[in-house]
Structure 1
């Protein structure tokens, strides 16, 4: 029999393996992450308010999140790296708590319990770890959920009354804690009661009736977790969001008989997604398209994780024979995994949400407990089980590295975009509705645009509630395109303590077609558009009002903690200054900027970026420069036709000499 000291040592060895492998999965690029997605509005609100404003932000759906975010922001402020460290810490602790639970359930199954906890911790189906500020509550909630279940099992295995009561109380408090962060995590209760069932059903010499009675008595105190939360949520709390209004969502079942069939359909699909698709699709989407140097780094980290897994698991396997008699892991683990998967998915489906990878991966979190356990029930039957486990660890590390590369690229692209805007625009007129197109980064919410814009141009503290967004924005959906094209009027959304007035008759379009190109502030009278621009942008570009760019005043300096230090002054710096000079009518300045750029070895990647220099040379009567630049800017049929139209209009508005006009007519428009 193994001594207590040996058990403790083996547990901490397992925890060390989880820590090392999960650190490899989540931390290699953490210092390069920036703000992503919902982080933008949260951090802008903190910039103009104070941490107590988190109460306002989350009051409408999950007020408990403020209790987590206030101390975290007080510690970390605006530095994203620290949030990524704490997110990793909570993820690791959640894995250790699950490992503790599995060890208490199956102490004789060393390999299986550690393998399941390890795969849960690095589960590749959850891809929002890189969005650490906004998803802090999700990851903290997951840790509290696994801690709550571990304390439940510990209380049931403890004989002494006082420690048993303390473990029980801690379990209930941690349970309320995780539900205060994410209400749909309530599916963890299925895992809790599945664990209790396994323990109670093992009772030797008891009839089924006695086991059922024991199960009921053991479960009774822990009904306070879900029961207490649901009483508060259903009868005392009023949700502002339909998506988190439990009563409203479930009422759809009575209004449409087909709802139940759709729920069953989604349940079947989501079970496949969390158990199978999560190990294939994300790695295909995220890791396979990486650049060669990133692929080499990813395989290096994956190899390191595999080496640690093999060494650690070999030591765990040798530490104790698993041939001792005990209840079958396969039967119990299979039952518990299915209960956990279904339980984790049902609350998501009942509020009409659905697991779609990789975009809505957060809905896999609770079900991933069962998904990892189910996979290990298969792996432990294979003779080369350590090799197979290592293969899945490698998939997870490759997936998370690819996901991290995507996050780094998106954050850097956003920083570069707004640094270019800051070089180009001294100030925006308040109230203009911004339409932006980032290179390769999907924009699903308007605050992906107005968050950075207001941080740069309207960072002043605000005392009133709600926060007034001076520079609103809109995502270019079909409805928004129609509103802009028909001068559709004003919207006044109020969301999470932020109020804005979107005027679709007063928009400014900003486009960056590719990451190595420049941001173009579109003049709707003569829009300059690239063949690479989205078709929706072509439709609304003529409605862009350039007069919303103030041409005078001091240029803002984007805060370094958010946007990093000022980038090197490459081609796009000179392009932005030349474009501003063009708007000002300062034609003499533009050739000076061009000479500086060319002398420094900078050239455009997009031929369209020659336009300010072409027009300046035309106004200044530099015929040879017009002729040579015209050859550069008319490289294809689309650009030639567009440049011809722009320059024809330009000839009507500006005084050009006859020789320049001849070059335009014969070298560009012919």
Structure 2
């Protein structure tokens, strides 16, 4: 029965759709917004369609129309956008299958395998950046559907879709030059000489050349892109040998990454100890299920078919090599990086088709008995690898939600014009990414071109947008649709290292906190942290994308206690501590106890303050000891007057201070 299913006309699109869900969508409701999703969606939904047009005005103005249209159709709900992105990924691959099935008649299973490889290509792992890449995949669909319409003789519609691809943005621009090769391949079985076939190919391609010329004129005359600050011709003129050697290295490196190293990632397997038992079991289920789906499409090959397969393999390899070159040219002439890392692996979308053609061509050269199973191995493991990445994205979204809910608890309001300095903890976001939700939360009514807040990662911005970690430096950051202006004297510094809580850094403590890694630069940033920028009056409004407020665990009480400490409400700090330490939860950073140590000391519960100090000290005497000394110096100074009037209180205070000094061996102040 299942074998009979594969012969039905809708079997391929349904199977492609099922594989799409297995690889990318098993937990779509747990996924959110990442990287450029954040600022572009904030600009579209908060600042409005006009701001979207401004954002794309000097680089991709036609693409802005697409964002404006989709913004009217879909609400700002991550789950909707995840489904939308998966739909267009599937639609593009289905259009691609229609093209390949036409180019290789009688090789339905090969066309199916190639489509699956394109669907699951592991060089690109950003499917879940759904707001942005849904628009990428719509444009890719335009290109692939244009090829399909062309092969069916629908020239005018094909030209329109070709123009949409060429005018919207540049990622798939040069892939348009694969069109004549596709036309030539479609004529292989027609009775004509190669010269006649070439002439017919050129005549068929001619209307699309006109579209390309018009697109180039539009891009060069109608608007001007600011460029990337690199000119290959100028570099060759300045240092020809060095530049050409660098170019050759860049070409070879990017081809290796796209065609070889990308596939190597599928052999990174999960382990229950690292990834968890549930994830490991689901990974195995995805791999096996996809493998079964693909095996259902296996047909027995006779000798003629095997001979054709060898001949087709050469075409696949040749087309793959050509498309790899087309995909690489934009990055080679601009010296832009091509890597497997995030977010640079978006460049591999341009190489994706070439890498998949090349791989399947090489597989087709293998013996008949093994080649299909090798193809199944690549397809099923690629599906598994994409599934593992989806788990990583889901965890990162959970971390992002926790970050902003904790910030919301710690800072009911923040003075406009504040710079937020933070370490790079979120894997799939940049600092300008999370600047968007920061403004959405703390300035929900601001729809002007003046942005109230900005997040800066010192590790990324030092020496550029952030000249130095010193007070009094004016800062300007351009979001294209709007801009921020502030000063480093008006900054907050936060450190986030989950499962530990988000923590507002204190200059007197954290400048010497060796639990903060050196390379984060957050110890230096702590000197700029000005808690007075936080307002007690509630101004923040959490956007719906972050869902309902989480259950109040340890970090909630820590944040609220730290807020109460900031405004000297020590009774509230102690009360929150009583609740926090009765939870089935616990601190994951010894400094999370410090606020309660202060609270209990200020309210006269010296025994509890000493007990918490002892527990924190045991975590790391070398690292925590000096910080406890600084904390207790502060406690000693701040409690001198408040508890010095009561003889009993003064005695308990003196005994507590003496015990702390003996325990930690603090140097004399």
Please say whether Structure 1 and Structure 2 have the same fold, judged by a TM-score greater than 0.5.
yes
Equivalent of 2:505 in 474, 499, 522: 522
Unpaired runs of at least 5, structure 2: 644-649
2:492 is matched with: 508
How do 1:50-61 and structure 2 match up within 5 A?
50-61=48-59
Separation in structure 2 between the aligned mates of residue 601 and residue 113 of structure 1, nearest angstrom: 55
Q: CA deviation at 1:173?
A: 1.2
- Cα distance in 1 for partners of 2:637, 2:38 equals 44
What corresponds to 1:583 in structure 2?
Answer: 566
1:183 aligns with 2:181: no
1:190-249 CA-to-partner distances (Å, cap 9, x unmatched) read: 32122123245655342x54443333222211212322211111222211x423x9x966
Give the 3 Å change call, closer, same or farther, for CA 562–256 of structure 1 in structure 2: farther
- Given candidates 651, 658, 666, the residue that maps to 1:662 is 658
2:291 match = 306
Alignment of 1:498-577 (within 5 A): 498-513=482-497, 515-527=498-510, 531-535=514-518, 536-550=521-535, 552-554=536-538, 556-559=540-543, 561-577=544-560
The match for 1:348 is 331
Contact 1:283 1:398 in 2 (8 A): no
SS at the partner of 2:577?
helix
Question: In 1, are the aligned partners of 2:419 and 2:487 still within 8 Å (CA)?
Answer: yes
Alignment of 1:90-239 (within 5 A): 90-155=88-153, 167-200=154-187, 203-206=190-193, 208-239=194-225
In 2, Cα distance between the equivalents of 1:118 and 1:300?
18
How far residue 10 of structure 1 moved from its aligned partner, in angstroms, is 5.2
Could you tell me which residue of structure 1 aligns to residue 454 of structure 2?
472
CA distance in 2, matches of 1:427, 1:51: 28
Per-residue CA deviation, residues 275-325 of structure 1 (Å, 9 max, x unaligned), is 2111113653989953332122111112111111112x13x5589984697
> Gaps (5+ residues) in structure 1?
1-5, 156-166
Root-mean-square deviation (Å): 2.8
Distance 1:290 1:8, change over 3 A: closer
- Shifted more, 78-87 versus 209-218: the winner is 209-218
Counterpart CA distance in 1 for 2:206 and 2:542 is 56
Map residues 247-646 of structure 1 onto 2, 5 A cutoff. Answer: 252-254=235-237, 256-257=239-240, 258-281=242-265, 284=268, 290-311=275-296, 313-314=297-298, 322=305, 328-359=311-342, 360-380=344-364, 381-382=366-367, 383-437=369-423, 439=425, 441=427, 444=430, 446-462=431-447, 464=448, 467-477=449-459, 480=462, 483-487=467-471, 489-513=473-497, 515-527=498-510, 531-535=514-518, 536-550=521-535, 552-554=536-538, 556-559=540-543, 561-635=544-618, 636=620, 637-646=622-631
Asked if 1 retains the 8 angstrom alpha-carbon contact of 2:23 and 2:387, the reply is yes
Per-residue deviation at 1:11? 4.8
Shift of 1:22: 2.1
Aligned to 1:162: none
Verify the 8 A CA contact 2:35 2:428 in the aligned structure 1. no
1:327–1:531 Cα change, 3 Å: closer
Q: 3-state DSSP class of the match of 1:184?
A: coil
Question: Could you report, residue by residue, the CA deviation over 1:309-355 in whole angstroms, capped at 9, with x for unpaired residues?
Answer: 112x13x5589984697992122222111111111111232222232
CA distance in 1, matches of 2:371, 2:381: 16
Deviation at 1:542, TM superposition (A): 1.9
Task: Tell me how far apart the structure 1 counterparts of residues 109 and 268 of structure 2 sit (CA, whole Å).
Answer: 28
Please report how far the alpha carbon of residue 472 of structure 1 lies from its aligned counterpart in structure 2 after TM superposition: 1.8
Task: Return the alpha-carbon distance in structure 2 between the equivalents of residues 59 and 27 of structure 1.
Answer: 33
Cα distance in 1 between the residues matched to 2:598 and 2:32: 38
Q: Is the contact made by 1:190 and 1:344 (CA closer than 8 Å) also made in structure 2?
A: no
C-alpha change, 1:612 and 1:545, in structure 2 (3 Å) is: same
Quickly say closer, same or farther: Cα 1:46–1:326, change in 2 above 3 A: closer
C-alpha deviation, 1:610, in angstroms? 0.7
Q: Which whole-Å CA distance do the structure 2 matches of 1:460 and 1:385 have between them?
A: 60
CA deviations 1:11-44 (Å, max 9, x no partner) are 5322222222222111112111111111111222
Could you tell me which of 83, 86, 96 is aligned with 1:85?
Answer: 83
Are the aligned partners of 1:287 and 1:401 in contact in 2 as well (CA < 8 Å)? Answer: no
Report the secondary structure of 1:226's partner residue: helix
- What displacement does 1:365 show? 1.5
Which stretch of structure 1 is more off in the superposition, 352-361 or 530-539? Answer: 530-539
The range that moved more, 79-88 or 257-266, is: 257-266
Aligned length, in residue pairs: 641
Task: Please give the secondary structure, in 2, of the residue aligned with 1:242.
Answer: coil
CA distance in 2, matches of 1:461, 1:492: 18
CA distance in 2, matches of 1:125, 1:75: 31
The alignment partner of 2:132 has SS state of coil
Report the Cα distance in structure 1 between the residues aligned to 2:167 and 2:595, rounded to whole angstroms.
Answer: 55
User: How far does residue 508 in structure 1 lie from its aligned partner after superposition?
Assistant: 0.9
Cα gap change, 1:130/1:317 in structure 2, threshold over 3 Å: closer, same or farther?
A: farther
CA–CA separation in structure 2 for the residues paired with 1:442 and 1:121: 21
Change (3 A) 1:486 1:531: closer
Measured at CA, do residues 480 and 653 of structure 1 come closer, stay the same or move farther in structure 2, by a change above 3 Å? farther
TM-score normalised by L of structure 2: 0.89
